[in-house]
Chain A
Amino acid sequence: MTATLDRPDDTAAAPKRPPRWWLLLGRDKLAAVAAVVLGLVLLTALIGPLLLGDAATRQDLNASLRPPSFDHGITGLLGTDILGRSVLARLVEAAGTTLSVAIPAVLFSLVAGSAIGMWAGYHGGRRENIAMRVADVILSFPSLLLAVVVLYVFTPSVANIVFILALARIPIYLRTARAEAAELKSRLFVDAARTFGTTSWPTIYRHILPIAMPTLLTVATLDFCFVMLSESSLSFLGIGIQPPDVSWGLMVAQGRQFLQTAWWIAVLPGVAIVLTTVSATILAAWVRLATDPAQRWRLTLPTSKRGKRSVTTEVTA
């Protein structure tokens, strides 16, 4: 690995334990902000509905299409929709729906895809072939259309949406994990483990997973965006989350017809989606650095010095 070449020679002085992750996070302002935003979204989704009560569904035709203002208390802060429902309250409500689809779908596809992928890549041969063919079948058809067909046959419930989105994303992890495992299985340390009689699953778990993990986690964090975007696209096309439930994608769809008179109904849910997905992507990049022993040292340097070649040449010289 290149780690030994590029890394500042601090092995003698520094403690063996890598720096705590929150210290590393504090070093990267952008990633810290992203983590805070994601934490806030999660918190909003969890406790927001408790605070707002029925504000998301309460209709008030006198307050129809009211623009964002400070005059109508907290619920009127972001304006109202055609039925006079508070956009802020609906955004909060939708955060819960959106996350309750995206998080289970990502976790399910991450675990299933990684396990099958590493197993297939490690063993090779027929097992690899079958796993890859199944992945090809799923990937060879656009996921959105697959979801539309499946959700049209079975009802578009939250469970079905989670299931179809997870199924559509398993091949991504499967392929990544297989590629890593196939490359790692011929490395010396895996050979050594095998020579000492380690069976396949412990080898995968102890020797392949730790190295494949940064890539898989990065893929998962990125995929969180993809799943969120898929769910909102489905809801936008009218085949995802169904009214009276509300998701950010559905809100954009509902606000589309009022684009010229009440921009806030369609614009604000989109902003919420972008904030969440961008934060997840930024955090993914940070996770990639922080979990990679060969790259982690970059995070411990002051920003101004990171990545400059002079740092490494000074140290190694």
Chain B
Amino acid sequence: MTTFLRKRIVSSAIPLVVVVLGVFILARLTGNPVDLYLPLSATAEQRAAFSAEHGFDQPILVQLWDYLGQVVQLDFGESLRTGQPAAEMVLEAFPATLQLAAVTMLIAIVGAVLIGSLAAYRPNSLADRTSSFLSMTAASIPDFWFAIMGVLVFGVSLGILPTSGVTGGPEVWVLPIATLLIRPFGVLVQVVRGSMVAALSAPYVKVARSKGASEQRVVFGHALRNATMPVLTVAGDLTIGLVNGAVVVETIFGWPGIGKLMIDSILQRDFAVLQAAVLLTAVTIFLLNILIDVCYALLDARVRQAVPA
């Protein structure tokens, strides 16, 4: 088990490094921020001084080397926009997104397992067809449009929910979470249903039934346990995909999270903040992947054994 984990940590660290390096280089390809931050009337000396101050006049590999040297000392540079340390801005924004994502995934997984299992229990029953149709629709609605419709109906017409912002009671959470939730929820219900239908028609379920196990035990003990693997994979990918949703949701609702911070940083060529935000996102996803691998190994003995020591 520890050998397995060690191997997975090493192999999951590679994407982490590649993504951070890739974004560093791609960001620099978007052009020198000097055009964006100095007035058009700036003299050549002023422009050169600005470039030199932030290191943009160096070759890209030198910039990268300097950057890595700073990151090792936990120095992530300063924002070009605000002059604040980038790490501070990112850490300020991160909890807002993390809370949104955690609450969303929790509701999505618990709800999907219950509804998906119920639907799979009697394939093609009325409950199954209704939940299948609704989950398909949920997974297919564009999140930005759903958010706008939510604002239009509940914010503008009925006036019972705020149209944006984070200050206030629990009602500010309703629309952002509902928007983030629809897609993962719809997808997960279908995945749970699909793998539960397969699991419930497997021979071991017949064996369990014929041994006289209660239906509850058959569904949640035997079938669900074996149907968990695909659900876990998809849930992991959906969690990463939540950052996509977060960009849209945070933009529409003015939620001060990391998705909005990243989009703004890209558009404003605020490289230090973008890099810090990407690094933190990549580390979070790295930890999430390790967590999923641990769950795999705990659930399926074959995975543990498949990896040679």
Contact = CB atoms under 8 A, between A and B. Distances in A.
A129 to B, nearest CB: 7
A145 interface: yes
B289 A136 contact: yes
Interface in A147-163: 148-150, 152-153
A12 B104 CA distance: 52
B282 A140 contact: yes
Given A129-B11, A145-B247, A140 B19 contact: yes
Contact residues on A (Cβ < 8 Å of other chain), bracket: 35 or more
- Size category of the B interface is 35 or more
A225 B139 contact: yes
A263 B152 CA distance: 9
A307 B143 contact: no
A236 B136 contact: no
Contacts of B124: 298, 303, 306-307
A225 B182 CA distance: 14
Contacts of B72: none
A272 B281 CA distance: 33
A32 to B, nearest CB: 14
B251 interface: yes
A274 B137 contact: yes
A144 B139 contact: no
Given A145-B262, A153-B29, A252-B148, A133 B247 contact: no
Contacts of A175: 233
B125 A307 contact: yes
Interface in A255-281: 256, 259-260, 263, 266-267, 269-270, 273-274, 277-278, 280-281
B247 A2 contact: no
B247 A144 contact: yes
A292 B18 CA distance: 39
A259 B148 contact: yes
Contacts of B152: 259-260, 263, 267
Interface in B134-150: 136-137, 139-145, 148-149
B27 interface: yes
Given A2-B201, A140-B282, A273-B142, A145 B289 contact: no
A143 interface: yes
Given A140-B289, A142-B240, A145-B243, A273 B14 contact: no
A137 to B, nearest CB: 4
B122 interface: yes
Contacts of B123: 298, 306-307
A306 B122 CA distance: 10
B266 A266 contact: no
Interface of chain A: mostly helix, strand, loop or mixed = helix
A30 interface: yes
B92 to A, nearest CB: 19
Contact of A136 (B12, B148, B247): B12
Nearest to B262: A145
A315 to B, nearest CB: 15
A149 B243 CA distance: 14
B84 to A, nearest CB: 21
Contacts of B132: 285
A233 interface: yes
B202 interface: yes
Nearest to A267: B149
Contact of A252 (B122, B144, B203, B267): B144
A139 B289 CA distance: 11
Given A229-B142, A252-B145, A281-B140, 12 more contacts: A2-B201, A2-B203, A133-B14, A136-B15, A140-B282, A140-B289, A142-B241, A142-B247, A143-B244, A149-B30, A274-B140, A303-B124
Interface of B: 11-12, 14-16, 18-19, 23, 26-27, 29-30, 122-125, 128, 132-133, 136-137, 139-145, 148-149, 151-152, 156, 187, 190, 194, 201-203, 233, 237, 240-241, 243-244, 247-248, 251, 262-263, 266-267, 278, 281-282, 285-286, 289
Interface of A: 2, 6, 30, 129, 133, 136-137, 139-145, 148-150, 152-153, 172, 175, 222, 225, 229-230, 232-233, 236-237, 249, 252-253, 256, 259-260, 263, 266-267, 269-270, 273-274, 277-278, 280-282, 285, 288, 298, 303, 306-308
